[in-house]
Structure 1
Amino acid sequence: MRRLATLALACALPFTAAQASERNDIPGCYPHAQLSEHQPAPSGRELVVIIDETVQMPQPLQRSAWEHAMRYVQPGDSVRLYQFSAFLQNHYMKLQFAGQLDSPLQGKVRNSLGSTSLKQLDACLLQQAAFFKKKFGQQFVASFGQPGTEIARSEIFGSLQKIGEEIASRPAQEKVVLLISDMLENSDFGSFYKNNQIRDIDPAAELDKVQQKNLLTDFGGARVYVHGAGLVGGDAKEAYRSGKTLQHLESFWSSYLKQSNASLMAFGSPSLNVDLK
Structure 2
Amino acid sequence: MKWTLLAAPLLFSSSVMAAQLDAIRSCHEKPLPAPRAPETELIVAIDQTTPLSPSLKQMVADNVKAYLQPGHAFSIAVFSAYTQGRYTEVLASGRIEAALPKAVRDDISKPVLNKFEQCLGRQPAQAMQVAGTALRSAFAESSGSIAKSDVLASLKAVSALAAESRAPQKIVLIVSDMLENSSVGNFYAEQGKSVRKIDAGKELRSVEDNKLLGNFGGAKVYVIGAGLLSVDAANAKSYRDPKTMQALAEFWSAYMQKSHAELVEFGQPALLRPMRQ
Per the normalisation by structure 2, the TM-score is 0.83
1:163-186 deviations in Å (ceiling 9; x for gaps): 213321332221110111010001
Q: Does residue 209 of structure 1 match 2:206?
A: yes
Q: Does residue 261 of structure 1 match 2:268?
A: no
Residue aligning to 2:64: 69
Residue aligning to 1:134: 129
Q: Which amino acid aligns with 1:274?
A: R
Residue aligning to 2:27: 29
Spell out the pairing of 1:176-215 with structure 2 (5 A cutoff).
176-196=171-191, 197-215=194-212
CA RMSD, 1 decimal: 2.1
Q: Which amino acid aligns with 1:199?
A: R
Q: CA deviation at 1:236?
A: 5.6
Work out whether residues 192 and 199 of structure 1, in 8 Å CA contact, stay in contact via their aligned partners in 2: yes
Q: Which amino acid aligns with 1:218?
A: N
Work out whether residues 86 and 155 of structure 1, in 8 Å CA contact, stay in contact via their aligned partners in 2: yes
Distance in 2 between residues matched to 1:169 and 1:179, nearest whole Å: 18
Distance in 2 between residues matched to 1:69 and 1:148, nearest whole Å: 22
Distance in 2 between residues matched to 1:203 and 1:178, nearest whole Å: 22
Structure 1 residues 249 and 216: alpha-carbon distance in aligned structure 2, compared to 1, 3 A threshold: same
Q: CA deviation at 1:122?
A: 2.0
Distance in 1 between residues matched to 2:61 and 2:31, nearest whole Å: 32
Distance in 1 between residues matched to 2:253 and 2:228, nearest whole Å: 18
Q: Percent identity?
A: 35
Q: How many residue pairs end up in the alignment?
A: 252
Q: Which amino acid aligns with 2:179?
A: L
Residue aligning to 2:275: 276
Secondary structure at 1:187 match in 2? coil
Secondary structure at 1:256 match in 2? helix
Q: CA deviation at 1:232?
A: 2.1
Distance in 2 between residues matched to 1:98 and 1:216, nearest whole Å: 24
Moved more, 152-161 or 169-178: 169-178
Spell out the pairing of 1:103-114 with structure 2 (5 A cutoff).
103-114=98-109
Q: 1:50 is matched with which residue: 45, 52, 56?
A: 45
Structure 1 residues 171 and 106: alpha-carbon distance in aligned structure 2, compared to 1, 3 A threshold: closer
Secondary structure at 1:143 match in 2? helix
1:56-103 deviations in Å (ceiling 9; x for gaps): 111110110111121133212121111000114541110111212211
Residue aligning to 2:116: 121
Runs of 4+ aligned residues of structure 1 deviating over 6 Å after TM superposition are none
What are the ranges of 5 or more consecutive residues in structure 2 without an aligned counterpart?
A: 1-20
Distance in 2 between residues matched to 1:269 and 1:256, nearest whole Å: 17
Structure 1 residues 167 and 102: alpha-carbon distance in aligned structure 2, compared to 1, 3 A threshold: same
Q: Which amino acid aligns with 1:174?
A: Q
